[in-house]
Amino acid sequence: MPVYTVHAPVTSSTDMAAADRFAFVRDGFHFWAAVFGALWLAWHRLWLSLLGWIVLMAAIDFGLLRLGVGGGTILLADILLALLLETARPQQ
């Protein structure tokens, strides 16, 4: 069963005329967004999300390297962050 989020415009009144501008966005899993997260963000022009994702990945990878964690564990952390990115984005 598909799940949608509803995005309503900010208005100062309770007028129902703004209901025509509601946006319904389907949530879901997209395989290529999980595999190529950064490219998917760039393709959909989500520049701030892309920048935040790059900074987060670099910070976590750098922190794990400084702690002396092995390469396999860093790869696992990167995969988990890619899955987290996938579950947090709306489906186009």
In this predicted model, what pLDDT tens digit does every residue of 37-53 receive, in sequence order? 788 888 888 899 889 98
Return the pLDDT at 1.
Answer: 67
Alpha helices by DSSP H, the chain: 31-35, 37-43, 47-66, 71-88
> Would you state the pLDDT for residue 89?
54
Q: Residue 30's pLDDT is what?
A: 73
Please identify every stretch of the chain with a pLDDT value under 70, giving residue numbers as ranges.
1, 12-18, 86-92
* Angle (deg, nearest 10), helices 47-66 and 71-88: 160
- For 68, the domain range is 3-88
Distance CA 2, CA 26 (A): 7
Domain count, the chain: 1
